[in-house]
Amino acid sequence: MTPSPADNQADQPQSANDPVTPSDHNDLIAPGGKVDPDLLRAAHLQNENTDLTIEDEDGPPTVHFKLTRDLNKRLDKYLQDRISFLSRTQLQRLIREKAVTVNGKSPKASTTLRIDDEITVILPPPPTNEIPAENIPLTVLYEDNDLIVINKQDDIIVHPARGNKTGTIVNALSYHFKHNTSGSLSTVGSENARPGIVHRLDRHTTGALIAAKSDTAHWRLGQQFEIRTVDKRYLAIVEGAIEPVMDTIDLPIGKHPKFRERMAVRFDDTAKSATTVYRLREQFDGYALLELELKTGRTHQIRVHLAHLGWPIVADDIYGGSFLNENDINPDALPDHPLMLRQALHARTIAFTHPITGKHLQFIAPLPDDFRRLLKFLYQYKRINHPITPPGATIELDQLNT
């Protein structure tokens, strides 16, 4: 990545030769050293459509600056020079909410910056419009004044995208808070039609999803995703025989060179590092049940990694998985009775530290009916061994009916 400008001499114009600490998002910094709101908006919106949504991610885009001169300037004033589309009050709030670090520590707005200081900022999106509340059913696993955890259903996107402001989880949550409980989604992300959204699941992926109700909770949860302390475990039913029973998939992922709706394993500068740990939990005849642990959160990461190894997720037609009818598993069943028509991927558990109380929380999302029914057919007609529990596995298979 080509170095970008990083700091200025007091209030003088930015030098084009001042370096910036390398990062995934320093391409958000335009010539002159300022964060470009259009580039930032594009970073937030990339891949956001009904065909390509983010399966999970590490939090909002982040930029890094490293000072090459002793500026003797307050942090909030320096950031105002760099992130001009946010007011000084908004920047001070980012600092209070620990979305800004200096040399890895949480600073004050009045912190004076010196040579070699390194500043990291988690960036909210630039402004846009509000979204309407809609009466869409939700399955709530937990809710308090600061956050909500739901069991996301199939065939719903998490937040508005590409001009579509209706029919999303955000619309449903807005209605839920107004009519069923209290509070509201955090204002973080509201500028870009994604208030409260800390992480996401793909449209046809079901399971545990967190949203923040307060700004402080949002930033602190975002940091937990950023530093990989959130434990996310998925269940997937895949095609093929799995060997070895446990391994770490460490393959970079980027946009597919030909198909807009796909991602792919790539080994060039367009890709980002991606790490998935899989554990075989049950081997069936021609199929397998995997427990998956995300170490990063790239777009379609699980689906791309498994397909690359020759184990596509059942019914994930984008990455080579086959739709299943009942007679595909039980030859005596009637044909043309669908068994699984969407990718068999479910976010079963999520564990994290409560952003306000500091309490450790873990939530289990019950399996949707189609996933449960497919498993029942596999256990009845395709089972060839007993359950497997590799080291580090945490999902209790005997509780899958709950």
The residues annotated as belonging to the active site are: 202
Inter-residue contact 351 to 251 (CB < 8 Å): no
Cα distances from 305 to residues 51, 82, 309, 378, in angstroms, run: 18, 37, 7, 23
281, 290 contact by CB (below 8 A): yes
Contact 278/247 with Cβ under 8 angstroms? yes
Residue 5 half-sphere exposure toward CB, CA atoms < 13 A: 18
Cα separation, 382 vs 195, whole angstroms: 44
- Joined together, the tokens standing for residue 55 give 């399966």
How far is 99 from 124, CA to CA, in rounded Å? 10
What is the spatial distance between Cα 165 and Cα 279, in angstroms, rounded to a whole number? 38
Parallel, antiparallel, or unpaired for β 287-294 and 275-283?
antiparallel
Contact 400, 367 (CB under 8 A): yes
Torsion of CA 194, 199, 201, 207, to 10 degrees: -120
Please check whether residue 328 is in contact with residue 282, taking contact to mean a CB–CB distance below 8 angstroms. no
CA separation for the pair 320, 42 (Å, rounded)? 29
Distance CA 219, CA 113 (A): 23
For residue 274, the cross-strand partners are none
Burial of residue 150, with CB atoms counted within 10 A of its CB: 0-12 exposed, 13-18 middle, 19 or more buried:
buried
Give the Cα separation of 220 and 208 in Å (integer).
Answer: 18
Q: Are 349 and 362 in contact (CB under 8 A)?
A: yes
243 close to 304: Cβ distance less than 8 angstroms: no
The two beta strands, 206-212 and 345-353, are parallel
